[in-house]
A and B are shown apart, each in its own frame.
Chain A
Amino acid sequence: MAEHHHHRHGEPESEMTLRVRAIEQLLAEKGLVDPTAIDRLVELYETRVGPHNGARVVARAWTDPPFRDRLLENGTDAIAELGISGLQGENMVVVENTPQVHNIVVCTLCSCYPWPVLGLPPVWYKSPPYRSRIVREPRAVLAEFGVDVPAEQEVRVWDSSAEIRYMVLPQRPGESAGLGEEDLAAMVTRDGMIGTAAV
């Protein structure tokens, strides 16, 4: 398991381990949770649900214009065409970056994030600095992430304050001509689909 030094701590790790184990025992005894299902859920989010899913969606949109149109018209249905759906992605809206508009996604109130396409959110996405600043000074935060948005290009921040989950469709890089869907998917990053990276 990784070192914990980047993690904010309210209580020592071992105390949380014991606390969560105690709660799991109580809930299991009452038949409210199945410990084996928890094992499988952990495995699911560590191996199957992650940004590689969103990258497939982006690569398809870049290579299949009718799919791109369906994706922007009804994100949930178009994403489901690739077999991707589920918790925290039941109602998806995909927003497209263009030379005119750069989109970014945040949840200022909590940690809403499109799990089926991006997996579980990184700690920084849930952190007070990102949640407070990205709506107030998006260009400064983007610069810290290494993204330079021209002054005339609109920065459009989507605050996921309801039950819609947003994903950014990045612009296809100029140097990607001729690449197939799989190679294109490999170019797409998690941050590109949050809007904190160019691709």
Chain B
Amino acid sequence: MDGIHDMGGMHGFGAVEREADEPVFHADWEGRALGLLLQAADGMGFVDDHLRSRIERTPPADYLRLSYYQLWIRALETLMVERGVASAAEIAERVAATSEGGRAPGGSDVTLDAVEAMVAGGASTKRPEVEIAPGYAVGDRVRVRNDHPFHHTRAPRYTRGRLGEVVIDHGVFVFPDTNSEEQGEAPRHCYAVRFSARELWGAEASPHDSLCVDFWEPYLEKA
């Protein structure tokens, strides 16, 4: 999807503003939001592909207005409705009925060490058991396909149609274009491709500089 999220190379956003001694969370709700996302993923059956695709459907003006945790919560609500966990009306009613200071019911005696062990296991989308012959090898010249699908995809717009060289074969990973749309994992090889800065940005770019971007095999064609 050619959305506002795909902002590599855009002009006009101004200076990068850094915050001194930035806290991990800027408000308690941000920490709760992170925990909700990590906890609910298993039970609701979603992974990052689903979350990202829902975030990207946020209207551009809203996307820029909202903080990243706000975008996450909005996408979580969308997934709750899609998966039948709660209707939009139920969520709205509950928000209206919620007051400060309340705490969600339930809870367990899970320890920090237990949660740490769970997180340490990760949730890899690499599928080494799926044997697929790679279509490209390190050193191959490739071009990024000039595709502009309406669905979720991970080939940044600034690379499309551009010529680069395969520098790493990362192995076989779940393909986000199908997985995000509930059409299966369809694992594919994923490669790092290196472009000269001038190939992407023209003669004003430094002749010494380069960019490396990761692509699933279907995003590429032989150059």
Contact = CB atoms under 8 A, between A and B. Distances in A.
B39 A23 contact: no
A132 B170 contact: no
Contact of A132 (B13, B25, B36, B103): B13
Contacts of B133: none
A135 B211 contact: yes
Given A1-B28, A31-B43, A40-B111, A157 B212 contact: yes
Interface in A126-164: 126-133, 135-136, 138-139, 141, 144-145, 151-164
A164 B55 CA distance: 20
A167 to B, nearest CB: 14
Nearest to A14: B100
A151 B206 CA distance: 8
B29 A17 contact: yes
Interface residues of A, number: 93
A47 to B, nearest CB: 8
B196 to A, nearest CB: 10
Nearest to B86: A26
A89 B124 CA distance: 9
B173 A108 contact: no
B110 to A, nearest CB: 5
A10 B67 contact: yes
Interface size class of B (residues with CB under 8 A): 35 or more
A6 B27 CA distance: 12
Contact of B39 (A21, A33, A50): A33
Interface string A17-55: 111111111111111111111111111111011100000
Contacts of B215: 161-162
B209 A109 contact: no
Nearest to A84: B120
Interface string B47-75: 01000100100000010111111100100
B149 interface: no
A35 B123 contact: no
B94 A25 contact: yes
Given A7-B67, A10-B70, A108-B156, A91 B109 contact: no
A163 B125 CA distance: 7
B47 to A, nearest CB: 10
A48 to B, nearest CB: 6
Contacts of A48: 112, 116
Interface string B2-38: 0001111111011111110011111111011111101
B56 to A, nearest CB: 8
Contacts of B15: 129, 144
A120 B215 CA distance: 24
B204 to A, nearest CB: 9
Given A10-B70, A20-B29, A123-B19, A26 B106 contact: no
A130 B134 CA distance: 33
A29 B35 contact: no
Interface in A84-100: 85-91, 93
B210 to A, nearest CB: 5
Interface of A: 1-2, 4, 6-11, 13-14, 16-46, 48-50, 85-91, 93, 106, 108-111, 116, 119-120, 122-124, 126-133, 135-136, 138-139, 141, 144-145, 151-164
20 contacts: A8-B67, A10-B62, A19-B29, A20-B73, A22-B94, A23-B80, A29-B105, A36-B108, A36-B110, A38-B35, A50-B24, A110-B52, A122-B18, A129-B15, A135-B158, A136-B8, A144-B15, A145-B18, A162-B170, A162-B214
Given A22-B98, A156-B209, 20 more contacts: A8-B67, A11-B70, A13-B27, A23-B80, A27-B39, A38-B32, A40-B114, A41-B31, A43-B112, A45-B34, A46-B25, A108-B8, A109-B5, A120-B34, A122-B18, A123-B19, A135-B211, A159-B213, A162-B170, A162-B215
